[in-house]
Structures are given as structure tokens and as C-alpha cells.
Chains A and B, each alone.
Chain A
């Protein structure tokens, strides 16, 4: 019984880390209809900035998170203005080619500037060590990741479903020409959502760094996992992504405990099964 609880806790923690990193991609793919393969690259930039601020400048974890999100958004603004704006509404292949190109450029630049070694982000004092749950211990930063995940989910749901910005965003996505005719400045809406998505990527890169350490190949290494989460959850759906992360986290963790030699077999089996039954993902909308 204790083992079951243990696995449940691990699954929840892993699922939430996945959620924090992947949700930004769900926003770009679902709401902005851009297949953004450079998502991992932005998460990595966030991780590098946080590592630089916290480790080399010694400014603490909170400052590092804020700086990472801010710096990544600032870097992303010109990229959005000059590159992404050309591919909104373009065929998927064009988007894939351009964003994968950006990813390779970022990998090269990161390798050149920061070197090929692993970079760590020193945690705040309060997040180090383990917390005792009674039946087992769990690293405190995992609890922090769970809290971050819940906060992000709630915040995004509120903005998209309950604010006028969310209304305009959904309108622009469904019919950009009509929304523009009604006075919505779609370029600004797109730019802001892109900024939010990139900011979330950076946040995920920092919060998830304990599990997915920052190094130049981060940008490609974990991209498949992010894409899987988005396609299983249904692009653009926040509850969908949340359920997908928790489900996949549970399957992956249980599989790894019971039968590690099967590798990611159960993970991908589940993905195939879900996509067969729900071709648009768990909570995907028909086009």
C-alpha cells in the first residue's frame, strides 16, 4: 500500500513538471496554430539565464526565475516580430522547418556561449532538502513544481476563459479577419500570447531543471515528450494538458517501477491508444 502511495506521489510530481514545461507549447500550437518546435529552445534559454543569474551572479532563486522569464521574453520579441510573424497561418511544413532551424541555431549559440557542460540552478534554501510525508520523503522542490503547475493552470484558465483579452484571443484564433474587422488588433494579441507562451517555457525550463538538466541539447532532447503531451491533451486545452500530464506521468512512473526493462513501451502504448480513441487529443476541439 505504501508503495502505491509512493508511486502516486512520484507520478503527480513528474506529471506536474511535465505540465509546467509543456503548457506553453499547448498555447502556441492550440491557440496560435503554430507548430513551435523551438519551444524547448526557449525553455533552455530560460534555464541558462536562471543558471547564470543564480550561480554566477549569486542573486538567489526567486530573482533567477523572474530574470529568466523576463530575459527569455525579451529575446523572443524580435524573433516573433521578424520570424514567427511570417509563418502565422502558413502550412505546417513551413512552420516545422523554420522553428527546427531556430532550434539548431539556439543550440549552436548556447554551445558557443555557455559551453557543452551541464549547468545547474542552485535552489533557494527553503526548496532544498526533503519533506517528510509520513510514509516517505519527497524533495521539497517537487512540491514547489506541483504548486507552480497548479498556479499556472489556474492562471491560464482564468485569463483565457474569463478576461476580455481571452475573448479577443479566442476570436482572433477562430477568425483573424473577422476579429480584425471588429477592431481587435490581432498582431498585438498574437505577440502578447507568444510572449506568454515563451515566458511559460522559460518558467518550465527553470522549475523542471532538477529533472531535465540544462545543457545545449536540451532543446531537442525533450521536444518529443513535450509534443506528446500536447497532442494527447489536445492542443490549446488547459484541462486537457493537465489531464494528459497526470495520466502520462502515472503510466510512465508505474511502468518504470514495475517493469523498467520495457522502457518507454507503456508510455507510448498509452499515447497510441489515446490518439486512436481521441484523434484530437483528450480535450481537443474540432477545427
Chain B
């Protein structure tokens, strides 16, 4: 009798689970170390999406598995991706803060039958490395091209470009140069500074001596941007009327409290500002703030992660929970929706996100916090970097 009951219960339980699967999503990002804040934003975006939309797609339960790559480390990233595919049996890979980490994983996607949703890595070429890559973040080309137009329209004809000497910095330099020269301006000098630069005074002197009317700058978000913006103010460049142009990496929201008044009035172009005014963004910011714990720490990787989860949910829906990477990717080609950052769509050809790029100005909000205030919208911007690479 007892055995029968057990068998009956077992049958019920097993019968119940046979239809509903757990679908695992492996997320690789920097969750410890100097870039932990960005990884924290990934997690906040993902948590926010799952809090608002539940963890079920149809009958399937979505489970996220996190793996930590503290700094750009392609070998480690690849090893963890393999572990996720083979041992954890994930159906989707997502995250990837650094380009090299994403590049290292693209060759194994096909064999693993796993699509990859990039939530940050911003070098144009990644999407060309495998047909199973979809990107919901931005590229440096995408965010740096509109600022060239802004610079030219503001009456500046001669600009000096100053970038950190690494991949995205060089992308930014090329993007700005291409855009600015097309508009009819001239880049008088292009300086590449080492990533480890602490003292920017000599660079500022160089900018002054170049006779340019404006400076285009790109540095990775974090400690160095603080020194750069301060040096710009303190060495009298601001007072001398040399205008400052940059993509939004320099004024990411989590750095703004530290930059303080020094950053006021700086104009940058970017795909997302936490202050973006829309009902979608309000819901997102509320949920993400709850997930991250402190609103001051919320910045752009969170929104890419949020949209990344949207794409993954759509993929699961389209494949009915079966593992079929190509079908999943095909299902989201051309997908368009309203993201917290505004209307977006996945370009069917490049699988990169087409989105609005906003011109923003650092301003003080009513409650004394600093925000990126959107002042102009460049609609439906694709990725000019892919064109340029051809």
C-alpha cells in the first residue's frame, strides 16, 4: 500500500515536471574587482526584468546563473562559457562587459547550440564573428558619431581628439573624426593617452597649445574620468572657452556625484540616461533601484541587461523552450519594442540594436542630485562602425 502511494506521488510529480522545464541563462560579467559596479548593474537590470515579468515563460521557468570575470580576461571568459554550456547546460549566454571576453566565446556558440546576448561589449565587429550574437547595448561608434554633428553645429571647426589608448578609445577617435570631417570640420590633432594616466595637466597644456576650439575626449568610465574633467576645469580650459565633447561613458550616472559641479554643463551623447522621461523608464528605474539597493549606483549597463532579458524571453517563447540557437536568433531579428531608453529594434542584418542616441547635458535636479538631462534626440541610429569596418 505504502509503495503504491509513493509510486502515485512520484508519478504525479514526474508527470508535472515533464512538461515544464527549467531554462538556464548563463551570465558572464565583472561581479568582483575594479569593475564590480558594472556587473552589479547587469544583475540589477536582470533582476528588475524578472521582478516585473516573472520568471516563467509559458510553462518554463527561467533561471539565471552568474559567472565572474573580474577584468578583461578572454581565456577565463571562454573557460567559464564552456563550463556553463557543458556542466550547467545553459541554453543562453549573456552579459559580457569587455569586448575581448565576448570575442573569446563567439567560436564555441555554434557547437554549443547557444545564442549570445551581449549586454555591454561595445566594439562593432563582435556581431560579425558569429551569426548567433545579438547585442542590446551600444557601440562606441554609435554613441560617438552624433557628437561630431553637435560639435560642428555649435560653431566649432577645429577640434583636438584625446582618447585613452585602447580599443574603444581608438573606435571613438575614428568615429568622431569620420563624423566631424564629413560635416566639414577639421581634427587638428589626435592624442592617445595611456590608460594608466593619473595626471592630466600635461595633456591639458597640449590641448591649449594646439589652438583647437574644442576637445573631443573618450576615457573608460571610472576613476580616470574624474581626474580628466577636473584637470579640464582647473587648468583654465573651460575658462578659455574650449568646448568639451564626449560620449556618455564620461558622465555615467554613478560617477556624477563625484564629478559634482565640475561636470555641470558638459554635453555628451549616449543611448541611455537614468533620468529619461517615460513611463517604461520609471517602472524600470523603480525596479532596478530596488534590485541594486542604491539609486546612485544605477547606470547604463542595467538597461542593456534589462533589454537583454527581454530578448531572451522572446527567444524562449519562440522556441517553446527547446534548445535551438539559430531559431531563437532568427525569431528576434527585426524585433521592435519600447525599451526604458526609448523605441528600439534589432537590426535583422547586423543583429545589433538600433536606437535613439540622446544629446545630454549634466545638470542639477530639483533634489540636488546630478543628472544627464536629455536636450536633443537623434532618432533610429544604427551602428556606423560596421560600415566603416568594411
A residues lining the B interface (CB < 8 Å): 3, 6-7, 10, 13-14, 17, 111, 115-120, 130, 136-139, 210-213, 215-218, 221-222, 225, 252-254, 256-257, 260-261, 263-264
Contacts and interface: CB of A to CB of B under 8 A. Distances in A.
Contacts of A212: 198, 223, 227
Interface in B221-268: 222-223, 226-227, 230, 234-236, 254-255, 257-258, 260
Interface in B164-211: 165, 191-194, 196-199, 201-203, 205-206, 209
B201 A137 contact: no
A212 B231 CA distance: 12
B36 interface: yes
Given A115-B294, A137-B235, A215 B223 contact: yes
Interface string B287-331: 000000010110000000000000000000000000000000000
A191 B267 CA distance: 52
A119 B260 CA distance: 11
Contacts of B373: none
Contact of B297 (A14, A116, A215): A116
A57 B230 CA distance: 24
A3 B209 CA distance: 8
Given A10-B199, A137-B235, A221-B34, A213 B193 contact: no
B33 interface: yes
A266 to B, nearest CB: 11
B78 interface: no
Contacts of B297: 115-117
Contacts of A117: 37, 254-255, 257-258, 296-297
A271 to B, nearest CB: 14
Contacts of A13: 201
B40 interface: yes
Nearest to B204: A10
Give 3 nearest A-B pairs by CB, closest first.
Answer: A263-B194, A118-B258, A257-B202
Contacts of B202: 7, 10, 253-254, 256-257, 260
B201 A10 contact: yes
Q: Is the interface of B mostly helix, strand, loop or mixed?
A: helix
20 contacts: A7-B202, A7-B205, A14-B201, A116-B297, A117-B297, A118-B223, A210-B230, A211-B198, A211-B199, A213-B223, A213-B258, A215-B34, A221-B34, A253-B201, A256-B199, A256-B203, A260-B192, A260-B194, A261-B192, A264-B194
A218 B196 CA distance: 12
Contacts, number: 104
Given A116-B297, A117-B296, A111 B36 contact: yes
A254 B199 CA distance: 12
Contacts of A252: 199
B196 A256 contact: no
Contacts of A253: 199, 201-202
Greatest chain B CB density within 10 A among A3, A115, A221 is at A115
Contact of B227 (A119, A213, A218): A213
B198 A137 contact: no
A261 B234 CA distance: 23
A11 to B, nearest CB: 8
A264 B191 CA distance: 14
Contacts of B258: 117-120, 213
Contacts of B201: 10, 13-14, 253
A240 B196 CA distance: 25
B350 to A, nearest CB: 31
Given A252-B199, A256-B202, A264-B194, 4 more contacts: A7-B205, A115-B297, A117-B37, A117-B255
A111 B37 CA distance: 10
Interface string B256-282: 011010000000000000000000000
Contacts of B222: 118, 215
Contacts of A7: 202, 205
A13 B297 CA distance: 33
A174 to B, nearest CB: 36
A118 B234 CA distance: 19
Contacts of A216: 34
Contacts of A3: 205, 209
A252 B202 CA distance: 10
Contacts of B193: 256, 260-261, 263
A213 B257 CA distance: 13
Contacts of B203: 256-257, 260
A118 B226 CA distance: 9
A212 B199 CA distance: 8
A217 B70 CA distance: 12
Contacts of B234: 130, 137-139
Contact of A116 (B40, B165, B196, B198): B40
Contacts of B206: 257, 260
Contact of B236 (A130, A222, A254): A130
A254 B202 CA distance: 7
A226 B205 CA distance: 26
A111 B31 CA distance: 12
A2 to B, nearest CB: 9
Contacts of B37: 116-117
A137 B209 CA distance: 14
A264 B226 CA distance: 20
Contacts of B294: 115
A6 B192 contact: no
B24 to A, nearest CB: 27
A225 B34 CA distance: 18
A115 B36 CA distance: 10
A14 B165 contact: no
A14 B199 contact: yes
Contacts of A136: 236
A276 to B, nearest CB: 23
A116 B226 contact: no
B367 to A, nearest CB: 17
Contacts of A211: 198-199, 227
